[in-house]
Structure formats: structure tokens, C-alpha cells
Amino acid sequence: MDLLITALESLNVWWWLGIAAALLITELLTGTTYILWPAASAFVTALFAAFVGWPVELAIFAGLGVLFLLLGDRFVKPRLKSGADSGLNTRATYLVGERVTVVSGFTEGRGRVRHGDTEWSAKTADGSDLAVGASAVVTALDGTRLILKA
């Protein structure tokens, strides 16, 4: 027991910064955001470590860890997830609202269109057929197929 008390009494700013760094490295390896909050609380605890004793340090670490976890899970994590639909690595999402040109005649509402130097499989929203050379606007995506409005 004396060994534990001695270890706790040796906690200082550098120990808390080391704990924060280790937790941040673990967070980088897992990518869950759950380990980010104890890392943040360890960093904040390091700011107080020079002024308070180890019982208060542990209370600050535990209290802030729970608080940061609740607030981060409630407010930060949904914003991180909303960025998942940003269109990054999905080139077709940037085509919504763009004008395309029909390169092969549509039959049964399906055909091919060109935007820039790329041809895309497409279908019309209302099932109508478009002639070669006609212009249309991309309204949505269905997988890799563009949905068009004449």
C-alpha cells in the first residue's frame, strides 16, 4: 500500500502529460474518439498538477473524463459523423445540380451521359427517354447511376 501511495504522490505535470500522450497515441490507433476524452482530461489535469495534491488530481481527472466523454459523445461525435457524407472520395456527389449531355439515346428511361470527359450511366427520374445531344440536370444518385431531370 505504501508503494501505491508513493507512486501517487510522485504524480506531477510530466506524468499527466505522458498519460495524455499515451492515450492520444492509443486514440490514433483505434479511431473511436472514446479515448480522446480521457486524454483531454489528463492534459487539463496536468495544468492543475503543480497546484494541487494527488487526491485532487485524481478527482479532476475522473470528473473531467466523465464530463468530456458525455459532452463529446453528445456534441462532437455527431459532427464528426456528419462529415462522413461530405462527398470525399465520391466524385459523383459533386455532379448533383450539374448539367450533362446525352451521348447515347435513352430507352426505357436509361442511357449514358457525359460530364466533362467522363461518361456516366444515367436514368431519368420520370422514366422518359432523352435523345442524343439533349441536355439534362443531375438531381440525385442511385449508386453509380445518375438520376436526371430533362
Looking at the whole model, is its pTM more than 0.75? no
Contact between 134 and 101 (Cβ < 8 Å):
yes
Q: What is the mean pLDDT of residues 87-92?
A: 62
The boundaries of every CATH 2.40.50.140 domain in the chain are 91-149
Contact between 97 and 77 (Cβ < 8 Å):
no
End-to-end CA distance of the chain: 79
Least confident of 4-8, 13-17, 52-56, 67-71: 4-8
- For 91-149, CATH gives 2.40.50.140
